[in-house]
Amino acid sequence: MTSTFTLINPATAQPIREIARADVAQTDAAIARAVIAQRAWGSLAPVARADALRAFARVVEAHVEELAQLEVRNSGHPIGSARWEASHVAQVLNFYAGAPERLSGQQIPVAGGLDVTFHEPYGVVGIIVPWNFPMTIASWGFAPALAAGNAVVLKPAELTPLTAIRLGELALDAGLPEGLFTVITGSGSVVGQRFVSHPDVRKVVFTGSTSVGTDVAAGCARELKPVTLELGGKSANIVFADADLEKAAAAAPGAVFDNAGQDCCARSRILVERSVYDRFLELLEPAVQAWRVGDPADEGTDMGPLISASHRSTVAGFLDGANVAFRGAAPEGDGFWFAPTVVLADRADRIAREEVFGPVVAVLPFDDEADAIGLANDTAYGLAGSIWTENLGRAVRVSRGVKSGVLSVNSHSSVRYWTPFGGMKASGLGRELGPDAAEHFTETKNVFFATDA
């Protein structure tokens, strides 16, 4: 018998519906169907796979509003963000629909014949998705994996499966073959672990915490299975005295409080050059007060609730003994609300070192450029970061010096589907998105054809 899991609307704390939890046998059955579907899909003409993915993209485009409303209810994302996320899924599909016809191999000069390489699909790819950006992160895996000729089994986070389930249905509506892209709901320790241990899942894509990701990688190592990991972060927003301080302060709340700070790229440490530290905090306070926390269904909302009651108590625990400079506002009452919080921190403080994954930012002063780079790198993580300066040479030096996978100068952008994304150090392994992502879902095969008569 299948057990169920109750979904909760994080803005109201009210139940939404029950979701089935797949067991190992059901997971194995989906993987077996994927093996069969992949054989046909992988041997289609490239243009046929391209057309199928474009059709999927068009169906997603026609359902942006429905997907966005599901994310508002299930995840508490503000409606404006949720619409952006749903449109992003369609754009990711459209972008990787261009990949099947561009997966060119090489022709390598070898005497006595013809040597060529092929990009062969792995077969079945298992994708494990976290709850913070349920549909965008899912699409970063399934779109390039399908484009490269693989079948996909995808496990959404138990807390936030609704948009992934709907995307699975929309794939069928768009004409993708049965079994090619299957969304399997259930727990990480059952369904997710089965992706790791099942011999017919030939590659795993995991996004989530560094601790679970490390276990997933260890499990994949035992099966000699490639794995891509997108993990946590403690990214620095570095503000130099020569920056446009007004602009840097105005942009800082969005860089850490977007999605209530439940963002692996959140700039959760603001490092400020000591000579402008007081001035920057004066400018930051009104920007934080202006950050609108409230009903995610409201068009004017910047930030909704945290994902769950237990996550809210974890986030609150980070404020024990912390030196709070100021806080924004948040609604009272039901829902897992948490007011944006700015903390003045010392380098050894827990709040300056561990990922909070909530709307809490630690502000720390630094002395000079070398100190800024050292402090930015004084973390186990290396996902994202921002550098604010009007000095071009400094921007180049610091962006080369910070050990992170995704940096921006005088901006906080991290994610564009056509540029690579991923972390260094404890933030992950491998890269998603960008021009090469479909190729990452293939293995290179080299074939030599002798031409001797």
Residues in contact with ligand NAP by the rule CB under 6 A? 128-132, 137, 155, 157-158, 187-189, 192-193, 207-209, 212, 215-216, 230-233, 264, 355, 357, 383, 423, 427-428
CB of 11 or CB of 406, closer to ligand NAP: 406
| In the complex, least distance from residue 48 CB atom to ligand NAP, rounded to whole angstroms | 31
- The residues, ordered by sequence, that sit 6+ positions from 142 with a Cβ below 8 Å of its Cβ are 127, 152, 154, 167, 181
**List of E strands, 129-268:** 151-155, 181-183, 201-207, 227-230, 236-239
CB of 127 or CB of 245, closer to ligand NAP: 127
Our CA angle for 249, 303, 95, nearest 5°, is 90
Residue 417: which of 74, 84, 24 has the closest Cα?
84
| In the complex, least distance from residue 384 CB atom to ligand NAP, rounded to whole angstroms | 9
One-letter amino acid at 65 equals: E
Q: Measured on CA atoms in the order 408, 414, 418, 421, is the torsion positive or negative?
A: positive
Distance CA 233, CA 382 (A): 6
CB of 9 or CB of 193, closer to ligand NAP: 193
Active site residue 230: yes
Distance CA 51, CA 329 (A): 48
- Active-site hit among 71, 230, 355, 432: 230
- Active-site hit among 264, 273, 355, 432: 264
Active site residue 66: no
| In the complex, least distance from residue 56 CB atom to ligand NAP, rounded to whole angstroms | 22
| In the complex, least distance from residue 393 CB atom to ligand NAP, rounded to whole angstroms | 30
Bridge-based pairing state of the strands 151-155 and 124-128? parallel
CB neighbour burial string for 375-400, b if at least 16 within 10 angstroms, e if fewer: bbbebebbbbbbbbbeeeebbebbbe
How is residue 248 written in tokens?
A: 């840097």
How is residue 436 written in tokens?
A: 């090469």
Distance CA 281, CA 53 (A): 48
CB of 49 or CB of 155, closer to ligand NAP: 155
| In the complex, least distance from residue 107 CB atom to ligand NAP, rounded to whole angstroms | 36
Residue 397: which of 366, 373, 421, 422 has the closest Cα?
373
CB of 233 or CB of 305, closer to ligand NAP: 233
CB of 187 or CB of 289, closer to ligand NAP: 187
How is residue 313 written in tokens?
A: 């108590």
Residue of minimal Cβ distance to ligand NAP: 188
How is residue 225 written in tokens?
A: 């299975």
| In the complex, least distance from residue 127 CB atom to ligand NAP, rounded to whole angstroms | 10
Active site residues per annotation: 230, 264
